[in-house]
Amino acid sequence: MLIADVVSSGINEVREAWESQRKSFTSEFFEADPCTDNLETLLQEKDIQADLVCCLQHLQLRFETEDKARRLLSNVSFLLKPGGYFFGITPDSSTIWAKYQKNVEAYHNRSSSMKPNIVPNCIRSENYMITFEIEEEKFPLFGKKYQLKFSSDVAAETHCLVHFPSLIRLAREAGLEYVEIQNLTEFYDDNKSLFAGMMMNAGPNLLDPRGRLLPRSYDVLGLYTTFIFQKPDPDVVPPLATPLLPDSSYDNDEASISDINLLDQDTFFSFPKGP
């Protein structure tokens, strides 16, 4: 297993946790930023091809600029063997943007005497608060920043919206084909038999006795989505192919992302193939 992190402290923590499990296969840890560093250059003397590459957090930070997102996906493609998968979890920008648009619509539907001085840029629930830094009507492809603060957090975290059509486009340019982007609540419902026990053991007040998500769990998990891409294997017939999206699908508005139904640190994992 190959593990990369942008800071040495993150690498040390993951190494200690990994070594405590005493796994039988080998692992390698190194400090690198998969969104700015060229892993092909850094690892040119190593014969690495992975079955899986996993990014569980902070994909959204790579959408600060197109260059960062492009470099990340290029590195993923380099690491994967043909037929390998890139998967992870990221905030569901379609859901977040739709909630923001509802706030804007509600604002415009109020009488003039009830309107505040600015368009509301804050999404609130009992479990979290999301605040956009800049008021915009259009969904920018890159760099749309917001602050996310859960009720139990001391401080908010800064994220960027992930424009899913742009993610799919850049992934394909890097040689990765789109498989699935699915809201985490839907993912759980589709795979309840696999994850209900794990959720039950994680703590109380997450599921009802029948394994269904309770309102608080649904509210929080609904902010996130899974994503899966695959590096095509030319020997597989027929090869996996991302459906071609019309040019209008890349327009930077909210409709363009909602129409597609589709690293706790910035840690980047790859899992090499077996011998």
Looking at residue 244, its pLDDT comes to: 52
Quickly count: other Cβ atoms within 10 Å of residue 112's Cβ: 5
CB-side neighbour CA atoms (13 Å) of 93: 33
Q: What is the CATH number of the domain that holds 62?
A: 3.40.50.150
Q: What is the pLDDT, as a whole number, of residue 164?
A: 94
The answer to whether position 129 is within a domain reads no
Q: Is the pLDDT of residue 112 over 90?
A: no
Full domain range(s) for residue 173? 2-91+163-272
Confidence class for position 140, pLDDT limits 50, 70, 90? confident
pLDDT at residue 261 above 50? no
Q: Who has greater pLDDT, 149 or 21?
A: 149
The answer as to whether 17 is a domain residue is yes
- Kindly state whether residue 240 falls inside one of the protein's structural domains: yes
Between residues 86 and 258, which one has the greater pLDDT? 86
In a domain, 132, yes or no: no
Pairwise pLDDT comparison (236 vs 8), residue with the higher score? 236
Q: Which residues contact 98 (CB under 8 A, 6 or more apart)?
A: 254, 258
What's the structural domain count of the chain?
Answer: 1
**Residue pLDDT, tens place only, 195-205:** 998 888 888 88
pLDDT tens digits, residue range 213-258? Answer: 999 999 999 999 999 999 998 887 665 555 555 544 444 444 333 3
Q: Fill in the DSSP letter of residue 231.
A: -
Residue 104 inside a domain? The answer is: no
Q: Looking at residue 50, what is its pLDDT?
A: 84
User: For residue 238, is it within any domain?
Assistant: yes
Tell me if 99 is assigned to some domain. Answer: no
Task: Note whether residue 144 is domain-resident.
Answer: no
Instruction: Note the pLDDT tens digit of each residue in 150-171.
Output: 988 889 999 999 999 999 999 9
Q: At what angle do helices 164-173 and 66-79 cross, to 10 degrees?
A: 50
Tell me which residue of 109, 54, 44 sits closest to 78, measured CA to CA.
Answer: 44
d(C-alpha 239, C-alpha 177), whole Å: 10
